[in-house]
Every structure is written in structure tokens, then in C-alpha cells.
Amino acid sequence: MNGIHDVGGMDGFGPVKREENEPVFHERWEGRVRALSMLINKKRRLYFIDESRHTIERIHPVYYMGSSYYQLWLLRFETMMMERGVLTEQEIQERMGQIAPGASFEPDLAAFRTIRPHNPTQHRRTAIQTTSGTASPNEPVPPKYKPGTVVQAKLAATLGHTRIPRYIRGKQGVIEAVHGHSPIPDIRVDQGLSLYQPVYRVRFKARELWGEDASPKDTLCIELWEDYLEQA
């Protein structure tokens, strides 16, 4: 989906401020949130990384920009646990009441653009019209493109998850290598299926992406699934 999470190539955000001697976690709760997210998935395998990313993508832009890194993780964690029936809003409120008696707490689900489960799958669009792939990594489809092939990143708009950056869409690059097969994230999130496709390393010229102000010597390599590409 096109959202504030995909800021590559956007202007006006100013320089990145780096904190000298920045700790790994600024507060203790941040480390706990990270540990919880990793442990719950290791023990119960409730979601894939693609679904996790898409949950953060659904956060309202105002909340997204106003939240810290681990605040986004916490919003994601709570929402995914409730959507999967592991926790209820009442249980979260009760636990918060034990931790901070008298404090008012309510999970702010309005922070999310609810795409699933309220919108049926048939009413949503995956990023790419799938043309190839297999359900097993042991039966891979042969790559459509070879190193040296000039390709173009597809122009794709979607309400769902995708890993094709907005700033490369419609731009031309050259296949550098084939990196095996991997499940295409769009289909995994939208349909819950693992469809294995070839993944390519594609080199783009900086001027193709950023215009004549970019250095003619600079290039950018991005790994892209086959269905993100078309013959130039």
C-alpha cells in the first residue's frame, strides 16, 4: 500500500538526527516489547514477518509519524494478538489496571486502517497480478530473466502489502543476479499462501531514480520478486 511508511525518495523531512552514544533501548519497556514479539512468534508461530510489516503499514499516518520505533511495535503486537483471538481488549485493560492502578488505558485501534478482516479478500487488490510461482521451494519455476536483461519495475497500486518501493516503480534497471526463490509477500499477506518465485538483484542508475541532479557514478541495487518486474 502507498503510505507514510514508504518514505524513500520523499522530501521535506530534514536531516536524520543521530544521538551520540545512543543506547539500544531508551527505556526498559522497549526491550520487553521486542522480547515479547520475538518469543510469541517463536513459540506459537502466529504470523509471518510480512503480516507483521503490513500491520504497521496500516497505522494511521498521524500516529505513525508521532510514535517512536517501539511504540509502533507495541501497537502492532497488541493489534495482531487481538485480531488472532489471543488477547481481548478487556484483558489488556485489566492488565494495565494491575500495572498502573487508576490510569486510564484503552487500546487505540482507531490508529489503524482496518484492511483485514473487515474487507473481504475479493474486495481488495494484491499489488501484482501473479503470473508464476509454486507452492514448494523444492519445485522452483525457472527464472524468466537472466543477468544482463533490462527490466522495468511495474507501476502497481494496492491496498495490501507489497515490497516494491514506490520510488522505483516505472523505472528501468538491469538484472545482476538471481537469488533463488522466496514466497512473494503480497500473496502471503493477502491470501495466506506461500507462492515461491524467483528473486532478482536489480541495479538501477541513480539518475534513473532521482533525475539529473544525481551522480552519474551512483547506482542502487534492490532485490525484487519476479512479478514486480516486466521486460523493458
* Torsion angle, alpha carbons of 165, 170, 172, 177, to 10: 40
Residue written as grid cell 519476479: 226
Backbone angles phi, psi at 116, to 5 degrees: -135, 135
**Helices vs strands, H then E, count in the chain:** 7, 5
Rounded-to-integer distance, Cα 144 and Cα 166, Å: 23
**Tens digits of residue pLDDT in 12-38:** 888 888 899 999 999 999 999 999 888
List, by residue range, all CATH 1.10.472.20 domains of the chain: 28-111
| Nearest Cα to Cα of residue 8 among 222, 182, 178, 226 | 222
Comparing C-alpha atoms, which of 46, 122, 107 is closest to residue 74?
A: 107
Q: Decide yes or no: CATH 1.10.472.20 for domain 28-111.
A: yes
pLDDT value of residue 161? 85
Residue 131: Cβ-neighbour burial (10 angstroms; 0-12, 13-18, 19+): exposed
The three-state secondary structure class of 109 is helix
Task: Give the model's pLDDT for residue 129.
Answer: 60
User: Residue 181 pLDDT > 50, yes or no?
Assistant: yes
C-alpha cell at 174: 538491469
pLDDT for residue 221: 98
Farthest-apart Cα atoms in the chain, separation? 64
In whole angstroms, how far apart are CA 162 and each of 33, 113, 153, 169? Answer: 25, 16, 13, 12
User: What class is the 150-231 domain?
Assistant: mainly beta
Measure the CA–CA gap between 115 and 20, rounded to whole angstroms. 39
Q: Cite the residue boundaries of each domain of the chain with CATH code 2.30.30.50.
A: 150-231
User: In this predicted model, which residue has the larger pLDDT, 189 or 150?
Assistant: 150
pLDDT band per the 50, 70, 90 thresholds, residue 89: confident
- Give the Cα separation of 65 and 72 in Å (integer): 10
> Which pLDDT does position 59 carry in this prediction?
83
Locus of grid cell 541495487: 221
What is the tens place of the pLDDT at every residue in 99-111? 877 766 555 555 5
* DSSP-derived secondary structure letter, 92: H
The DSSP result for 36-86, as a single string, is: HHHHHHHHH----HHHHHHHHHTB-HHHHHHS-HHHHHHHHHHHHHHHTTS
